Structure 1
Amino acid sequence: MTDQELQALVEAVSARYFARPFRHQARFNSRLRTTGGRYLLRSHDIEINPRHLEQHGEEELIGIVKHELCHYHLHLEKKGYQHKDRDFQELLKQVGGSRYCQEVGGGRTRLPYRYELVCEACQMRYKRKRKINPARYRCGRCSGKLRLYELETAAKQQG
């Protein structure tokens, strides 16, 4: 599906389920990772994650479009357009949009911690996401020297 086809789909869904026109841009955004789509408040545009169409089909895509159109129309009417607002929840239920989208694979999978600092004296362990210089720090328990280990290399050696 191209951006033009997505634009036509969004306009058709808006006319059919909301009885209001969609006058802004709808496009695919492949940089979206954890969400099915998003409504941009400043430009009133809608961006859709293309992986949802690939993995879950057009029915899931229409549910996401309905969800984003709820944000769109309520924001333009100056009503409660956020997820927590009753106006949003009621309109979403009326049009049959999806509250949550299905999970999409293919994203980056990372270990939560990449580095580990180990105290040479008491063996206290500190996990870190970012690399730091262990010479600048001491153990919080015993003030011993710290040694830096990279966790991903340990996982690669075991597997």
Structure 2
Amino acid sequence: MTDLELQQLTQRIAQESFGKSFPYKVVFNRRLKTTGGRYHLNDHHIDINPLMLEEFDEATLIGVIKHELVHYFVHMLNEKPDHRNPHFQQLLRAVGGLRYAPTTSKRRRTSPKLLYQCQGCGLQYPRQRRINTRKYVCSKCRGRLKLL
């Protein structure tokens, strides 16, 4: 799917789901890694993660587009276009947009690399980054921590 086809699909969804047009630019953005799409408040254009189409079906892409269009239409009503806004949530449910984008293959999955253990009670703390063992203690018994 090209950017032009994406633009036409978005305009069709806006007309069918919201009964209004969307005159701004919609493009695929390969730099998006963890989100399905992004609505820009300043110039109203929408970026869509191309992995939503490559790794999932067109229904997922349409759900992401509806989600971003809800941001736009709530913003045009002079309301905060964030996820906690009740009007945003109600409109998203009404049009059948996705609440969350599905996890893609590009999302980094990190696992704990370090393991600390309390010398008092033996409780273990898996961590990604080092901690200062002189400063931090066990949350259960206040014992000293040791890097394993």
TM beyond 0.5: yes
8 Å CA contact 1:80–1:87 kept in 2: the answer is: no
Q: Secondary structure at the match of 2:83?
A: coil
TM-score in terms of structure 1 length: 0.69
The Cα RMSD (Å) is 3.1
* Alignment correspondent of 2:79: 79
The runs of at least 4 consecutive aligned structure 1 residues that moved more than 6 Å come to 113-116, 127-130
TM-score in terms of structure 2 length: 0.74
* Identity across the alignment (%): 43
Q: Secondary structure at the match of 1:94?
A: helix
* 2:45 matches 1:45: yes
Residue correspondence of structure 1 range 15-30 to structure 2 within 5 A: 15-30=15-30
* Alignment correspondent of 1:146: none
Residue correspondence of structure 1 range 43-122 to structure 2 within 5 A: 43-110=43-110
How far 1:80 sits from its partner (Å)? Answer: 3.6
Q: Deviations over 1:92-130 (max 9, x none)?
A: 11111111121111344455x7789xxxxxxxxxx9978
* Alignment correspondent of 2:34: 34
Write the letter of the residue equivalent to 1:71: H
Say how many residue pairs are matched: 143
How far 1:59 sits from its partner (Å)? Answer: 0.3
Which protein shows a greater Rg?
1
How far 1:77 sits from its partner (Å)? Answer: 1.9
8 Å CA contact 1:10–1:22 kept in 2: the answer is: yes
Q: Secondary structure at the match of 1:70?
A: helix
Distance 1:58 1:64 in 2: 10
Write the letter of the residue equivalent to 2:24: H
Which structure 2 residue ranges, 5 or more long, are not aligned? 116-125, 130-148
